[in-house]
């Protein structure tokens, strides 16, 4: 598949560049900035983007690309640091500038360059840089400047090498998508060939060839990713080959396990192994209140149950499918750019099963080229219900990290009942889809209240609702007060054990999204 290659110099918005270009319909691949640009690496590459970076080019050991990048004859677009890198590597000069530019800046040009075709002269760009070009490299020319007179767009006089000082991938940048489209389509000559249908076709052939008549095992968590992998496997393989295992820890949301089972059966699952491990989890957690210990116990029990149950299936040569996404393959460590499998959830890390299958070359990760929005689109195409596609993220240890302190079956039931009411109300009021993640937390405290003429002690329930892009940072959802008041009263009227409802108004950082 033809693509644009993005060299990642460590900017926070590198992934965004990839997503924006894919939205235009062109496939993108992000690789560490110092990757050797071998012929096999460059197969089907139509253009290269050099990303931004928090570093400065003039500093020792600043991240640099394979120098051949400038002589390959492929179109290049340097963004911010990528532009400064291009200047520096080709004989120009970059300095720390006294007029640092952060935020909006107007960009003006005399003659419209092809990169800015269709862009209004004087458009508002989005800047985030402390360094600026002091001297452009020989052979290059300034195509547009900011109001401060700083070069905003630079191009090579003959070669298709471009650089921009602003960030077109950020939504605040006017005409950002037009500029990226001009680069990908007009300058690199890509077609708009990347879409769910094209992906489905190529991944189907790849998986069918790899798997042949073998069995495939998939651990289902109930979330979007594993369900979409399940739907995909059931569509492109014989359902008899597909073994789906769902481990019910007893710490799932109310009715969740039934919903998972129903939706997978609807998608054609014949071998659905629904393991009820509630008692095993709850007895292992009995009397434990330390958050880390609880997490460890849940993680270990997951592996114990998984191993025992997989053995019973008698499909030892089966492939193991995982719902790893493109963004799960991210940089590790401090150095820019080593791709690594990152910890995604407690049950697909450290798992001996995953390690064993990986060693044997029996892992398939059909979503590893996709971003979350693309997975959702694929899911819709495959007939996965909106109740699953739009579902808020749920942590691997489930309600285990939302019942603070000791976990008892009684508390699980109280939290399930209260949280169900909360979430249903959000859906009814059209608020659910405005929120990244909403849930309830049961505190290990009771407070006094009155019911009739009686004083009674009820549990305290904290409601949480946050908005976020990726869960790394989060803001509190600014709840309409009336909704909050009504939801509180619905919960205390229906769940007798809860005497008081509070709303968590902490952002991340300093708080985390979950409470334990």
For the annotated catalytic residues, the residue numbers are: 80, 167, 169
Pick between residue 60 and residue 292 the one whose CB is nearest to ligand XMP: 292
Minimal distance, residue 290 CB to ligand XMP, in Å = 15
Helix and strand numbers, DSSP H then E, in the chain: 13, 20
Segment interacting with ligand XMP, rule: CB under 6 A, options 46-54, 144-152, 493-501, 508-516: 508-516
Q: Looking at 227, 345, 351, 488, which residue binds ligand XMP (CB under 6 A)?
A: 345
List the one residue out of 471, 511, 494, 345 whose CA is nearest residue 419: 494
Pick between residue 116 and residue 461 the one whose CB is nearest to ligand XMP: 461
Segment interacting with ligand XMP, rule: CB under 6 A, options 111-119, 136-144, 304-312, 506-514: 506-514
Per rule CB under 6 A, is residue 291 in the interface with ligand XMP? no
CA-based torsion, 164, 165, 171, 175: positive or negative: negative
3-state secondary structure at position 212: coil
Integer Cα distance of 59 and 484 in angstroms: 52
Pick between residue 270 and residue 506 the one whose CB is nearest to ligand XMP: 506
Integer Cα distance of 410 and 123 in angstroms: 60
- Per CB under 6 A, which of residues 373..412 are in contact with ligand XMP? 393, 395-397
Per rule CB under 6 A, is residue 227 in the interface with ligand XMP? no
- Per CB under 6 A, which of residues 67..126 are in contact with ligand XMP? none
Apex CA 30: angle with CA 117 and CA 84, to 5°? 60
Q: Are 182 and 127 in contact (CB under 8 A)?
A: no
Minimal distance, residue 443 CB to ligand XMP, in Å = 16
Which residues on neighbouring strands pair with residue 96, listed in sequence order? 131
Minimal distance, residue 221 CB to ligand XMP, in Å = 8
**Helical H segments across 360-480, by residue range:** 372-381, 386-389, 409-428
Pick between residue 242 and residue 285 the one whose CB is nearest to ligand XMP: 285
Segment interacting with ligand XMP, rule: CB under 6 A, options 17-25, 87-95, 143-151, 507-515: 507-515
Q: Are 220 and 264 in contact (CB under 8 A)?
A: yes
Per rule CB under 6 A, is residue 513 in the interface with ligand XMP? yes
Minimal distance, residue 389 CB to ligand XMP, in Å = 17
Minimal distance, residue 345 CB to ligand XMP, in Å = 3
CB atoms within 10 A of CB 61: 7
Pick between residue 346 and residue 411 the one whose CB is nearest to ligand XMP: 346
Integer Cα distance of 510 and 473 in angstroms: 9
Helix or strand (DSSP H, E) at 198: helix 196-211
Per rule CB under 6 A, is residue 473 in the interface with ligand XMP? no
**Sequence-distant (≥ 6) Cβ neighbours of residue 427 within 8 angstroms:** none
Q: Minimal CB distance to ligand XMP: which residue? A: 345
**Sequence-distant (≥ 6) Cβ neighbours of residue 489 within 8 angstroms:** none
Q: Are 383 and 452 in contact (CB under 8 A)?
A: no
Per rule CB under 6 A, is residue 508 in the interface with ligand XMP? yes
Minimal distance, residue 493 CB to ligand XMP, in Å = 28
Minimal distance, residue 472 CB to ligand XMP, in Å = 7
What's the N-to-C CA distance of the chain in angstroms? Answer: 44
Q: Looking at 3, 20, 155, 346, which residue binds ligand XMP (CB under 6 A)?
A: 346
Per rule CB under 6 A, is residue 514 in the interface with ligand XMP? yes
The DSSP secondary-structure symbol of 266 reads H
Pick between residue 78 and residue 223 the one whose CB is nearest to ligand XMP: 223
Integer Cα distance of 227 and 216 in angstroms: 14
Could you tell me the CA-to-CA distances from 245 to 74, 78, 91, 207, 261 in Å, in that order?
47, 46, 59, 20, 10
- Per CB under 6 A, which of residues 420..459 are in contact with ligand XMP? 437
Pick between residue 159 and residue 341 the one whose CB is nearest to ligand XMP: 341
Integer Cα distance of 216 and 322 in angstroms: 10
Cα 18 versus chain centre, distance:
13
Q: Are 220 and 394 in contact (CB under 8 A)?
A: no
Minimal distance, residue 255 CB to ligand XMP, in Å = 19
Q: Are 257 and 248 in contact (CB under 8 A)?
A: yes
Per rule CB under 6 A, is residue 322 in the interface with ligand XMP? no
Beta strands 161-164 and 76-79: pairing type? Answer: parallel
Which residues on neighbouring strands pair with residue 156, listed in sequence order? 140
Minimal distance, residue 514 CB to ligand XMP, in Å = 3
Pick between residue 385 and residue 393 the one whose CB is nearest to ligand XMP: 393
Total chain residues near ligand XMP (CB under 6 A): 12
Pick between residue 271 and residue 432 the one whose CB is nearest to ligand XMP: 432
Q: Looking at 471, 483, 484, 490, which residue binds ligand XMP (CB under 6 A)?
A: 471
Where along the sequence are the contacts to ligand XMP (CB under 6 A)? 345-346, 393, 395-397, 437, 471, 508, 512-514
């Amino acid at each position: 598949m033809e693509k644009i290659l993005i060299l990642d110099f460590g900017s926070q918005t590198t992934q965004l560049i990839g997503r924006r270009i894919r939205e235009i319909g062109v496939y993108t691949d992000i690789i560490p900035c110092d990757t050797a640009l071998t012929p096999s690496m460059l197969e089907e590459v139509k253009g290269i983007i050099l990303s931004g970076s928090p570093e400065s080019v003039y500093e020792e050991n600043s991240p640099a690309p394979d120098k051949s990048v400038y002589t390959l004859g492929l179109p290049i677009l340097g963004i911010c640091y990528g532009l400064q890198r291009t200047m520096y590597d080709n004989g120009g000069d970059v300095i720390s500038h006294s007029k640092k530019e952060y935020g909006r800046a107007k960009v003006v040009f005399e003659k419209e360059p092809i990169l800015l075709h269709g862009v209004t002269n004087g458009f508002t760009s989005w800047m985030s840089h402390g360094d600026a070009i002091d001297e452009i490299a020989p052979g290059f020319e300034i195509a547009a400047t900011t109001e401060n007179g700083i070069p905003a767009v630079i191009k090579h006089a003959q070669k298709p090498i471009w650089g921009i000082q602003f960030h077109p991938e950020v939504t605040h940048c006017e005409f950002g998508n037009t500029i990226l489209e001009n680069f990908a389509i007009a300058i690199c000559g890509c077609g708009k060939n990347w879409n769910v249908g094209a992906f489905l076709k190529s991944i189907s052939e790849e998986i069918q060839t790899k798997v042949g008549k073998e069995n495939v095992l998939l651990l289902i968590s109930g979330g979007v990713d594993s369900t979409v992998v399940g739907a995909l496997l059931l569509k492109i393989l014989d359902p008899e080959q597909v073994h789906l295992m769902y481990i019910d820890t007893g710490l799932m949301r109310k009715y969740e396990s039934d919903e998972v089972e129903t939706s997978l059966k609807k998608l054609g699952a014949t071998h659905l192994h629904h393991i009820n491990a509630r008692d095993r989890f709850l007895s292992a957690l009995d009397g434990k209140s330390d958050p880390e210990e609880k997490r460890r116990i849940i993680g270990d029990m997951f592996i114990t149950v998984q191993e025992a149950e997989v053995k019973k299936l008698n499909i030892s040569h089966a492939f193991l499918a995982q719902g790893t996404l493109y963004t799960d393959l991210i940089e590790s460590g401090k150095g820019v750019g080593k791709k690594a499998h990152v910890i995604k959830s407690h049950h697909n890390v450290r798992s001996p099963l995953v390690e064993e299958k990986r060693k044997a070359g029996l892992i398939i990760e059909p979503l590893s080229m996709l971003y979350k929005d693309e997975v959702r689109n694929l899911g819709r195409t495959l007939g996965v219900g909106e109740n699953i596609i739009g579902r808020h993220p749920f942590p691997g240890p489930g309600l285990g990290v939302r019942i603070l302190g000791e976990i008892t079956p009684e508390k699980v039931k109280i939290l399930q009942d209260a949280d169900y009411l909360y979430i249903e109300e959000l859906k009814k009021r059209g608020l659910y889809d405005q929120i990244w993640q909403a849930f309830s937390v049961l505190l290990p405290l009771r407070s006094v209240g009155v019911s009739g003429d009686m004083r009674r002690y009820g549990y305290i329930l904290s409601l949480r609702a946050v908005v976020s892009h990726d869960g790394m940072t989060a803001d509190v959802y600014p709840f309409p007060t009336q909704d909050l008041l009504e939801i509180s009263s619905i919960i205390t009227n229906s769940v007798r054990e809860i005497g008081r409802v509070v709303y968590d108004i902490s952002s991340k950082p300093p708080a985390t999204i979950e409470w334990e």
